Amino acid sequence: MKILERPLLKNKTSATGILLFIVLGVLPFAAAFIYALLYSFGLVGVISSGFTTEFWVSVIKTGSFFKSLGYSAAIAGIAVFLSVVIALWLTLKFKSALENKFILMMVYMPLAIPGLATAFFIIQLLAKGGFLSRISYASRLINESNEFPDLVNDNLALGIILAFLTMIIPFFMLLFLNVYKNERIEDLRILAYSLGATSRQVRNKVVLPILLKKTRVLIALYFIFLLGSYEVPLILGQESPQMISVLVIQELKQYDLDKIPEGYVVAVMYTIIVAIAAVFLFLPRKREQYV
């Protein structure tokens, strides 16, 4: 009897899990997406006047969505790339130091700081009237605050990228450290050396491939996460182009009520693109084990 009951119980538990996931995760999202889709075609909304494609045409025609998407992708891509490179270097260089609990705790610390606070720190530190600018002025490196380089709300999104780096480098460092331990990379490294490999060969053929292969999905997910981030680009970004989430909110809150559906067009287009990217990311590698 017991042998028969177990799979039944297991099936029941997994069915409840799936149901909960669908009810709490999929259903609200699907309802919101359909609502946004209907809104974007003027089918719902307080002042909607029936089906129209004018909002889609207008968004596609102005091109601000694509500009914004490209800008967001570039910032997220650069931030993720730099974070991974810096985190890899720090992890491999200071591996033994990072085993010290106090140092490890210091690495954890930035993870507890919300993005909003990080953005304000960056403003306080790097704005033309900020801490570094004042130090430069006091030490006569500059004659007036306007001579201090543009590091926030700037053209190159340096402030945003810096904020992202401070937020995600610690995360990747902890991730790489874990993978390093779990995959017993140290043992493999010693083995490779004993088989006559050079340091460069060990790094390029053993350590890096394992670390990157085991973490690539998380790296890609972080890219998607940064693509849609809001508070940091809102505070540190410029007015045009804007990162995609800032653009969506701006469109939704615009004063011309007749154009609010354009915000929903942007949100729907963005959702579709991210969903397609996620499908590409997960489907072909279904059988792989992720960290």
Partner 1 sequence: MTKLIQYLTLLFLALLSASCGSDTKRTTLDLENTDWETLVDSTSGKTVNFMMWQGSPVINEYINNYVVPTVKERYGINLQISGGQGPEIVQLVIGEKQAGIAQGQVDMVWINGETFFQLRKLDGLWGPFVDKLPNSKYINFEDPFISVDFQQPVNYMESPWSISQFALFTDTLHVANPPKNLEELERFVKENPGTFTISNDFTGMTLLKSFMAELGGSPKSLDGKFDQEKYDRLSAKLWDFINRNKKYFWKSGETFPKEQTKMKQLFASGELKIAYGYGEGGIEENVRSGLFPNTVKGYAWDNGTIKNSNYLGILQNAPQKAAAMQVINFLISPEAQLKKASPESMNANMVLDIDRLPEAYQKLYAKTKTRKYGPSMDDLKEHVIQEPAPEYMIKLYEDFRTAVIEK
| Residues found near partner 1 in the complex (CB under 8 A) | 15, 19, 22-23, 27-28, 30-31, 34-35, 38, 44-47, 62, 64, 127-130, 144-146, 150, 153-155, 234, 238-241, 252-257, 259-260
Q: Which residue number, 63 or 284, has a Cβ lying nearer to partner 1? A: 63
Residue number with CB closer to partner 1 (149 or 209): 149
Detail the DSSP E strand segments found in 6-158: none
How many of the other CB atoms lie within 10 Å of CB of 208? 14
The alpha carbon of 130 is separated from its chain's Cα centroid by a whole number of angstroms, namely 27
For residue 172, the minimal CB distance to partner 1 (Å) is 30
For partner 1, the closer of residues 204 and 240 by Cβ is: 240
Task: Identify the CA nearest to 113 among candidates 221, 208, 237, 232.
Answer: 232
Handedness of CA 269, 245, 153, 59 (dihedral sign): positive
Bond before 241 cis per omega within 30 degrees: yes
**Which of 221, 225, 259 shows the shortest CA–CA distance to 64?**
259
Least separation, in Å, of the C-beta of 185 and partner 1? Answer: 44
Q: How far is the CB of 95 from partner 1 (least distance, A)?
A: 42
Indicate the residue among 251 and 270 with the shorter CB distance to partner 1.
Answer: 251
Residue 271, phi then psi, degrees to nearest 5? -60, -45
Q: What is the rounded distance in angstroms from the CA atom of residue 133 to the CA atom of residue 179?
A: 40
DSSP state of 289: P
| Least CB distance to partner 1 at residue 167 (A) | 21
Taking the complex as a whole, the smallest distance from the CB of residue 222 to partner 1 amounts, in Å, to: 27
The encoded tokens of residue 53 equal 């494609």
Nearest of 132, 133, 162 to residue 147 by alpha carbon: 133
Q: Which is nearer to partner 1, 35 or 193 (CB)?
A: 35
Tell me the C-alpha distance between 131 and 141, whole Å: 14
Q: Closer CB to partner 1, residue 148 or residue 176?
A: 148
CB of 190 to partner 1, least distance (A): 52
By beta-carbon proximity to partner 1, the closer residue of 156 and 191 is 156
Kindly state the smallest distance separating residue 150's Cβ from partner 1, in Å.
6
- At residue 107, the 3 state secondary structure works out as helix
